Amino acid sequence: MNETQIKTQKFIIKYFTEIMIKGTTAKRQMISQVYNNLVNILSKISKDIKVRKFFDKVEVVCPIEVVAEVRMRLLDTPGIQQILEAVQFDNMNTLDDIKVVVNETMAHEIQGKTFVVRCKRMGTQEFKSTQVEQTVGGYMLAMNDTKGVALKGAEYTINLELEFAQLNVITHKHMGMGGFPIGSQGSILSLMSGGFDSTVASYLTMKRGIKTHFIFFNLGGIAHEIGVKQVAYYLWNKFGSSHRVQFISIPFDDVVTEIFKSVSEPYMGVMLKRLMLMASEKVADTMSIDALVTGESVAQVSSQTLRNLALIDQATNKLVLRPLSMMSKPDIIDIANKIGTTRFAESMPEYCGVISKNPVTHGNYERTASEARRFDYTILDEAVKNSAFINVDEMDQNISEIGQMEVISDLSSGDYTVIDIRQSDDCIETSVETLKIPFYKLKSEFKKLPQDKEYLFYCEKGILSQLHAQFLRDAENYTNIKVYRP
């Protein structure tokens, strides 16, 4: 093939099917949004990328050296149904020009196979589409070791698009992620824990064209927050980087402490979810956002029965979307595997499951109202007041490089005091001094201990102890804390 004839690599973008069946005005707006989003995303890769908008497609023409990165971005951009990769040739004025470059480009695909040539033609030429197909097919049949031409049921189809004297030889076809372009369906605030459910729910709202901001309720200190920021940044960068979104962190440890003081144990989980929605509503109001999204799925845990979800929703006037409501856990995990958030979710603790002991599964409306009246809402107001806002694109790129606390397994290696931070009443038995301080009391109680000792935090899985040890070290400058893992 004459390499001087190849000017660029081209991608032909087909819009999501639902876009094309919209009314004229809505369709025009969504097509413009797809175009604007692609211009924004691809301009960050190279200023030499050209994007052209048409009624039924978008064409992206890019230098050969950035093809792989452009392809990846297109596959992860909402609003795209199909992506055709094409090699573009200019000045294709004769059938002889066309048959030679097509054969040199596609001969390797038809060896030992039946094949057929299909051509779509636009503009004015001296020949018809059928003549292109017959000429190219006959030439390639003569020049290659194939099983022949098959007009029906061919093993390989060579697709050509000829627009005036410009020829596009389609080399690959990819299915896009579908959905609507981000920015076409407004904004939402996603309650983000960093686990499987909240990350998949956020992905689905982004796929549906909703500009998705993230709100995080910090129950586990700096390390937990860094972990959730990491997955939020991943989701934004992969699927939503056409728009700037915010990450809001609300310190919720004092709220949890107040729950343990004022709420009956069976209603703690329901109350925590209600308070999260109330705080989210306050933040959403400041951002002019009309809806919230959660990763809740009906019957997955005690707080997600229909009755308890109804009790939780009473706490807010905002629309609450639950895209996972009818999905099973395996379905959710399958999506997480597909979008790449599994590795984040697997290491993320589920704090909402920590709080209730013997949780109610069919709450009572009057009892919930009674429990709610006992809560001191000035603590919630203070937590919201201390919210931290950051643009996701401005997050520290080294958020994954958090320091891990030292783990001790042999208690005879030093003079240690073990602190059992589990919320249960039982306490681990060890060969050294052992204290019982539930995780939600650590912030206030640890400072009362003699600070000339070495303390080892203990919990069953080691996650809570790591995160709370990290929090006290980073936030309070304690250097005498390690983690105990027998």
Q: Which residues are annotated as a binding site?
A: 191-192, 273, 295, 304
In this structure, are residues 326 and 297 in contact, taking their beta carbons and an 8 Å threshold?
Answer: yes
Strands (E), 41-108: 50-53, 58-62, 80-89
Biggest CA pair distance of the chain: 93
Helix (H, G, I), strand (E, B) or coil at 485: coil
In this structure, are residues 298 and 326 in contact, taking their beta carbons and an 8 Å threshold?
Answer: yes
Place of tokens 């971005």: 73
User: Which are the contacts of 154, defined by CB distance < 8 A and separation ≥ 6?
Assistant: 113, 114, 115, 116
Tokens of 276: 């999260």
The count of other CB atoms within 10 Å of the CB of residue 167 is 24
Cα separation, 433 vs 415, in Å, equals 9
The count of other CB atoms within 10 Å of the CB of residue 326 is 10
User: Which are the contacts of 187, defined by CB distance < 8 A and separation ≥ 6?
Assistant: 210, 211, 212, 213, 287, 288, 289, 290
- Annotated active-site residue 459? The verdict is yes
Query: Which residue positions form the known binding site for ATP?
Result: 191-192, 273, 295, 304
> What phi and psi values does residue 209 have, to the nearest 5 degrees?
90, 15
Tokens of 324: 């996972």
Tokens of 240: 């939503």
> Could you tell me which residues are beta bridge partners of residue 407?
483
Instruction: Let me know if 274 is exposed, middle or buried by CB neighbors in 10 A (0-12, 13-18, 19+).
Output: buried
Cα separation, 477 vs 409, in Å, equals 24
Residue type for position 153: G
DSSP letters spanning 109-136: GSTTSEEEEEEEEES--SS-HHHHHHHH
In this structure, are residues 418 and 456 in contact, taking their beta carbons and an 8 Å threshold?
Answer: yes
Catalytic residues: 459
